[in-house]
Amino acid sequence: MRHLRRLARSGTSYVHLLPAFDFGTVPERRSDQARPGCDLADLPADSDQQQKCVAATADRDGYNWGYDPLHYTVPEGSYASDPDGPARTREFRRMVQGLAHAGLRTVMDVVYNHTVAAGQDDKSVLDRIVPGYYQRLLDGGSVATSTCCPGTAPEHAMMGKLVVDSLVTWARQYKVDGFRFDLMGHHPKANILAVRKALDALTPAKDGVDGTSIILYGEGWNFGEAADDARFVQATQRHMAGTGIATFSDRARDAVRGGGPFDEDPRVQGFASGLFTDPNGSPANGGRDEQRARLLHAQDLIKVGLSGNLADYTFTDTGGRRVKGSEVDYSGSPAGYAAAPGDALAYADAHDNETLYDALAYKLPATTPAADRARAQVLALATATLSQGPALSQAGTDLLRSKSLDRNSYDSGDWFNAVHWACEDGNGFGRGLPPAADNEPKWAYAKPLLTNPAARPGCPEITGASGAYRDLLRIRTTEKAFSQATAEGVQDALSFPLSGTGETPGVITMRLDRLVVVFNATPSRQSQTVPALAGTPYALHPVQAHGSDATVKTSTYERATGTFTVPGRTVAVYAAEAAAAAGR
């Protein structure tokens, strides 16, 4: 809570809880929960014994992400002091109240797209009430499982009503401030809009809550038996544009990190991980010319992300063409798909796939010092933090959180998942090879990394990264320019004055109203001259000038030529003199 309060004071406004409703895989009583029977801390950093020991009790321990719903509208009992009786209800409400007193609102991750079981299984609920109705059936009569578990059918009237009624209950009775939909693309768009309508009808006088203030966002991925609107118009990225319900944007995420979450070779580099500017030697990155071209395209994807992923945002790309966000390619799809700044949610990492620190550990050259790894982390986070629209970061990412390279830690226990709040405890890196079930193909890359001293940050790197991130949060939340309300407002305020055929690979210069932001992802100091700004007085933003990062304070500005000079792996925010004075 001390760390959450620090983040709240810096501008974090919500805590997003992974599923906290009643789920099926954790014994609810502490006395029934198993614990690993090994001395995990004494094992080598690259050993396979930790994951073996954790896996032996994983199905019976007290840890699971909870994406296996049992009862949608009941708090999970394993989080309560006593799972029987009213404690789980009272304590959940107290938790929401406690976060609110710390200045934080609560978002619940909700998983209405599937259940933990179907048919006559002991943990089947809906299918045993009306067999074959609440679960989505394939043409042959079997239950769809594209979501990993028995799928539900919110396109059916009563399943759709269950979703709406359940969310209204969480809002009215528990005062939850927002909801994140797991695999929202498996819901009809109409169902999610019905949720929005029902929540909007809640009033303080009648319900004790202003439903219009409740936020909604979700995963708008397009796959499975519902893909391409095969059964209904889906709640996917392109369809939710203009609704005010945000979808996760993977465009800038992949451009910043490099590659994709399912690459066979995890060393594919991106903007923040050294593509072209600090190559790691992996053949997966291609030759120098290919790397340069990929990096410049990644910079265009990031620019679209900084606009809020707006489809109609117009700028000059690195090829010198005037393009809209929707005309920038993302693996065959339009990079820009949003109609307004709130339609896309920016992020560099979330609970799925490797943490940002672990992804960068794979991608940065092995000899990269810990201090530079920390700076690359903050730079990557900045591309989301300083974008238009909402942004999210995974718990502990500002503390360089590692899961010892585990890419799917939903059942990996506390050993791999713990957030290490005290820097003296490290960041979680080097706690053994990650669980074999989801990571064994990458062990050949992971093993030498886990014993690499350069990949182990200490207190200076951990506290430095956290402080620098909080400085960026303060800038984001105190400068109104980062919160444009309309696409037109973004178009008028945001530009990339050096974008074009002469753009520096690894550097993005952004002008936002009276601010100039330079993202220097290269390992060396870079100068960016904007002739149109020559004569205009700029200074490093007061938050950074008086902030925690000594390196960014060495950034300079030459007024006569309009030249901004920024250290390697650094994001510097400059304010025009009037804005700088107002910020003091």
| Residue 128 CB burial class (10 angstroms; 0-12, 13-18, ≥19) | middle
Provide the β-strand partners of residue 137. Answer: 143
**CB-count burial class (<10 Å; 0-12, 13-18, 19+) for 193:** middle
Looking at 3.30.210.10, 3.40.50.261, 3.40.50.300, 3.20.20.80, the CATH number of the domain 13-30+60-247 comes to: 3.20.20.80
Catalytic choice (46, 182, 254, 471): 182
Give yes or no for a contact between 309 and 249, defined as CB atoms under 8 angstroms apart: yes
Catalytic site residue from 219, 254, 317, 406: 219
Can you give the pLDDT at residue 582? Answer: 46
**Phi then psi for 524, rounded to 5 degrees?**
-125, 165
CATH of domain 495-583: 2.60.40.1180
Alpha carbon of 404 to those of 47, 361, 448, 492, 538: distances in Å? 11, 10, 12, 44, 42
Retrieve residue 204's tokens.
């303080």
Count Cβ atoms below 10 Å from residue 524 Cβ, excluding itself.
11
Domains of the chain, by residue range, sit at 13-30+60-247, 495-583
**What does each C-alpha distance from 475 to 258, 272, 302, 335, 553 come to in angstroms?**
26, 21, 19, 26, 15
In three-state secondary structure terms, 180 is: strand
pLDDT at 577: 84
Q: Report the distance separating Cα 355 and Cα 546, nearest Å.
A: 30
Residue positions counted in the chain: 584
DSSP secondary structure of 396-431: TGGGT---TT-S--TTSHHHHH----SGGG--STTS
Contact predicate 555/570, CB 8 Å = yes
73, 61 contact by CB (below 8 A): no
Q: How far is CA 65 from the centre of its chain?
A: 16
Q: Do 463 and 478 form a contact (C-beta atoms < 8 A)?
A: no
Q: At what angle do helices 2-10 and 459-478 cross, to 10 degrees?
A: 40
Write out pLDDT tens, residues 183-241.
999 999 999 999 999 999 999 999 999 999 999 999 999 999 999 999 999 999 999 99
Contact in structure between 370 and 454 (CB atoms under 8 Å): yes
488 catalytic? Reply is no
Q: What is the pLDDT of residue 244?
A: 94
* Contact present, 455 and 361 (Cβ < 8 Å): yes
Cα separation, 499 vs 297, in Å, equals 11
- The b/e string for 544-572 (b: 16+ C-beta within 10 A; e otherwise) is bbebbbebbeebebeeeebbbbbbbbbbb
| Residue 447 contacts residue 51 (beta carbons within 8 Å) | no
Whether residue 182 lies in the annotated active site: yes
Low-confidence ranges of the chain (pLDDT < 70): 578-584
List of residues 6+ apart from 525 with CB closer than 8 A: 565, 566, 567, 568
Rounded to whole angstroms, how far apart are CA atoms 545 and 540? 6
Q: First-to-last CA distance in the chain?
A: 29
Report residue 17 as tokens: 């809880």
